[in-house]
A and B are shown apart, each in its own frame.
Chain A
Amino acid sequence: MQRRLQNINYLDFVLWFIRVSIIVFVAWGTIATLLDNPYSADVWVNFTVLGLAQGSMYALIAIGYTLVYGVLFMINFAHGEFFMSGIMTATVFIAGPLSASGYLNNHPVISLLLILVVSMITSVGVAILTERVAYRPLRKAPRLVPLITALGASTFLQYTFRGLFGSEVKPFPQVEALSGKISFLGTEILQTQMVVIIATVIMLVGLYLFVMRTKTGKAIRAVAEDKDVAALMGIDVDRTIAITFALGASMAGAAGVLYALVFRQVHFYMGFLPGLKAFTAAVLGGIGSIPGAAVGGLFLGIFESVGPPLFLDGLNVPAYHQLKDVITFTLLVLVLIFRPQGIVGERLAEKKA
């Protein structure tokens, strides 16, 4: 015992202190809230469904981080901007005019598909361009270099779209066909949320099958395993990496449409927070793993929607919803510090080192 104590150094001490205080804080807040009982069960269910819808988007965006990280071991900072660019363009060029002419509500399915396609194509285009210009020439550079260009690409894209479409918040038209509520397992759920969840499930399954079953998917996995060997097997590595970016960006483009359906507004800065949160989700699920990204996204969505009222309400924190992002960032920081391999994941973090 004597010996063990002597070996606990400063760093371990601080880390344990953080662990313990977080647990105490969360437990205290939760118990206080539950004793106080400010919300009915219905409200909690609504929080959860909202979280699920939100988490679906995180899951879709997180796919992009995970795919790119799996292949290049690089955090693509600009991924949130791929998400933004698609839906911004689709809103300005398609949704706006369609809504103004009334076509949107007369033919909602065709319109939404058109919006989806334009959004995905734009995102993919921006992603491929970014990869070609900012990342590909630096593939052999020291590790910090692509991270810095990614940061630059992120800022550059944000302000390019600000310059193109303006700095104000743009409304995304309401789709009347989706404006109602439906009853599901005894609770009322917004139709948009339902659409978001179902669409996400379809896309995630599709993507998973694509990566696992098709030849291109196999090439992606081979490149993720070992670029040099993959190249020896006749795989065009550059092209495969571009496809990986495109796949991730197409998911982000789709997530953009879902985001617009739920929040009904778009903005040049809208990519930053969801991007960072989706990254958190990807890390939560174990970065590099596609099912992990999905699970991580859903978990984060629910955590973010249920967490603030559960942890903070009982502590009488004023306007606790302001601290929603603090909770998410704290989770991000804690996960990266304590479990960089993710909650369920294997030790991928070691491989890249």
Chain B
Amino acid sequence: MSILSAKNVTKRFGGLVAVGNLNIDLEEGSIVSIIGPNGAGKTTFFNCVTGFYQVTEGEILFDGQSLNHRSTDLITRLGISRTYQNIRLFANMTTIENILVGEHPHLKTFWAEAIFRTPRFLKEEKDAEAEARRLLRYVGLAGLGDSLARNLPYGAQRRLEIARALASKPKLLLLDEPTAGMNPNESAEMMRFIKNLRDDLGITILLIEHDMRVVMGISEHIHVLDFGQKIAEGSPKEIQRNPRVIEAYLGRGAASGLEKQTDGISATV
């Protein structure tokens, strides 16, 4: 069944249509990519899903529940979590603290319990910290628990951001350009890591990505946006051959002339 389905979603800013009449269905447990040129409305769609923006028209359903008019924190509690294109960690908190904040939706104690240090509070804090350390190990940052998020190297920050997103035990994980700024080796590693996420944890993954090697390598399904409209969808193979996609990326002339070599081109776009 589909875990997330966007039905005729439109988001306008004044006169600008950032996302127009978009329909996207996500199979549970799949890895799906959204690609498209800059300004195509990909991140806007993410923002609509997470409730940062309210959709202008249409509806987004998650697990059969409508996300319209729900605030961001409630949507996170339903089981959607995300990372950001330009990493947005809590830079001056330690890595463990970052993950602990991510665990927030699953912590139950009332704030007054913290004042009296009730047994329940102490146990929950202990468990939460153990879980945070486990996640840290899982993303390969074991031993870095007490360093500041700000001081981590770039790749580690990306991983920490994913760990933080995983801490809320999401069913759906939105990754906004997880390999941006990485060299091919790092990208390949991140790709394996994302695949493992799905295989180990069964999390559905929706990602925005520009690196075609990554997109073609791990996606089971791809949606292509251009100017807020969906211009194509399908398996990586189908997308690579789609003339409209090539046109959107390379312009009209290129589309007709280079159609035969598409595989090579789209892999380097």
Q: Which residues in A have some Cβ–Cβ distance to B below 8 Å?
A: 3, 7, 9
Contacts and interface: CB of A to CB of B under 8 A. Distances in A.
B69 interface: yes
Interface residues of B, number: 2
Nearest to B71: A9
Interface in B54-80: 69, 71
Nearest to B70: A7
**Main SS class of interface, B:** loop
**Interface of A, helix, strand, loop or mixed by DSSP:** loop
A9 B70 CA distance: 10
Contacts of A3: 69
Contacts, number: 3
B51 to A, nearest CB: 12
The 3 closest A-B pairs by CB, nearest first: A7-B69, A9-B71, A3-B69
Contacts of A7: 69
A3 B71 CA distance: 15
Nearest to A9: B71
Nearest to A11: B71
Contacts of B71: 9
3 contacts: A3-B69, A7-B69, A9-B71
Nearest to B69: A7
B92 to A, nearest CB: 10
Contacts of A9: 71
A176 B69 CA distance: 66
Contacts of B69: 3, 7
A3 B66 CA distance: 11
A7 B69 CA distance: 7
Interface in B69-121: 69, 71
A28 B71 CA distance: 37
A9 B71 CA distance: 10
A168 B263 CA distance: 84
A7 B68 CA distance: 10
A3 B69 CA distance: 10
B148 to A, nearest CB: 16
B69 to A, nearest CB: 4
A245 to B, nearest CB: 31
A9 B69 CA distance: 10
B84 to A, nearest CB: 16
